[in-house]
Chain A
Amino acid sequence: MSANPEHDVSAGVDFVKESQSEEFQELRKTHRSFVFPMAIFFLVWYFAYVLLADYFHDFMSIKVLGNINMGIVLGLLQFVSTFAITAAYVSFSNKKLDPKATKIRERLEREGVN
Chain B
Amino acid sequence: MNQLSILAQAAGESTQVGNPLVNIAIFLAFVGVTLVIVLRASKNNKTAADYYAGGRSFSGTQNGTAIAGDYLSAASFLGIVGAIAIQGYDGFLYSIGFLVAWLVALLLVAELLRNTGKFTMADVLSFRLKQRPVRIAAAISTLAVCVFYLLAQMAGAGALVSLLLGIDEKFGQSLVIVIVGALMILYVLVGGMKGTTWVQIIKACLLIAGALIMTVWTLALFGFNFSELLGKAAEVAGNPEILNPGMKYGVSETSKLDFISLALALVLGTAGLPHVLMRFYTVPTAKEARKSVVWAIWLIGAFYLFTLVLGFGAGALIGPERIQAAPGGVNSAAPLLAYELGGTVLLGLISAVAFATILAVVAGLTITAAASFAHDVYASVIAKGKSTPEKEMKVARRTVLVIGVFAIAGGIGAQGQNVAFLVALAFAVAASANLPTILYSLFWKGFKTRGAVWSMYGGLGSALLLIIISPVFSGSETSMIPSIDMAIFPLANPGIVSIPLAFFLGWLGSVTDKGVEDITKQAEMEVRSLTGVGAEKAVDH
Contacts and interface: CB of A to CB of B under 8 A. Distances in A.
Given A6-B537, A54-B245, A104-B533, A66 B92 contact: no
The secondary structure that dominates the A interface is helix
B183 interface: no
B540 A16 contact: no
B89 interface: yes
B482 interface: no
B539 A4 contact: yes
B269 to A, nearest CB: 14
Contacts of A55: 256
A82 B536 contact: no
B234 interface: yes
6 contacts: A1-B389, A16-B523, A27-B530, A39-B107, A67-B234, A90-B294
A7 B534 contact: yes
B226 interface: yes
B234 A9 contact: no
B49 A10 contact: no
Contacts of A47: 263
B239 interface: no
A75 B103 contact: no
Given A4-B539, A105-B532, A86 B389 contact: no
Interface of A: 1-4, 6-10, 13, 15-16, 18-20, 24, 27-28, 31-32, 35, 38-39, 42-43, 46-47, 49-51, 53-55, 57, 60-61, 65-69, 71-72, 75-76, 78-79, 82-83, 85-86, 89-90, 93, 98, 101-102, 104-105, 108-109, 112
A108 B287 contact: no
B427 interface: no
A83 B107 contact: no
B497 interface: no
B527 A85 contact: no
A78 B227 contact: no
Nearest to A60: B245
A54 B96 contact: no
Given A38-B103, A79-B301, A104-B531, 11 more contacts: A3-B46, A13-B534, A16-B519, A24-B530, A27-B530, A51-B260, A54-B259, A66-B227, A71-B89, A98-B287, A112-B533
Contact of B290 (A43, A65, A90): A90
B104 interface: yes
Interface of B: 46-50, 89, 92-93, 96-97, 99-100, 102-104, 106-108, 118, 225-228, 230-231, 234, 243-246, 249-250, 256, 259-260, 263, 267, 287, 290, 293-294, 297-298, 301, 304-305, 389, 443, 519-520, 523-524, 526-528, 530-534, 536-540
B520 A3 contact: no
Given A66-B231, A86-B106, A18 B527 contact: yes
B233 to A, nearest CB: 9
Most buried by A among B97, B245, B519: B245
Contacts of A2: 47, 49, 118, 536-537, 539
A38 B77 CA distance: 30
A19 B521 CA distance: 11
Contacts of A15: 520, 523-524, 526-528
- The 5 A-B residue pairs with the shortest CB-CB distance, nearest first, are A10-B534, A66-B227, A67-B230, A19-B523, A15-B524
B108 A35 contact: yes
B527 A24 contact: yes
A93 B288 CA distance: 12
Contact of A67 (B118, B231, B524, B530): B231
The secondary structure that dominates the B interface is helix
Contact of B530 (A6, A31, A50): A31
B241 to A, nearest CB: 8
Nearest to A41: B103
A43 to B, nearest CB: 7
A11 B304 CA distance: 46
Contacts of A108: 527, 531, 533
A69 B243 contact: yes
Given A39-B104, A75-B96, A82-B301, A3 B539 contact: yes
A79 B523 contact: no
A98 B106 CA distance: 15
B103 A42 contact: yes
Contacts of B532: 101, 105
Most buried by A among B100, B519, B539: B100
B409 to A, nearest CB: 33
Contacts of A89: 106-107
Contacts of B540: 3-4
A1 B227 contact: no
A50 B92 CA distance: 11
Contact of B100 (A7, A24, A42): A42
Most buried by A among B226, B243, B259, B267: B243
B530 to A, nearest CB: 6
A69 to B, nearest CB: 6
Contacts of A16: 519-520, 523
Given A35-B107, A86-B103, A71 B523 contact: no
Given A4-B539, A46-B267, A89-B106, A53 B523 contact: no
A67 B227 contact: yes
B127 to A, nearest CB: 12
A3 B49 contact: yes
A82 B244 CA distance: 22
Contact of A72 (B106, B228, B243, B527): B243
Most buried by B among A18, A49, A54: A54
Contacts of A7: 534, 536-537
A24 B525 CA distance: 13
Nearest to A49: B96
A38 B100 CA distance: 12
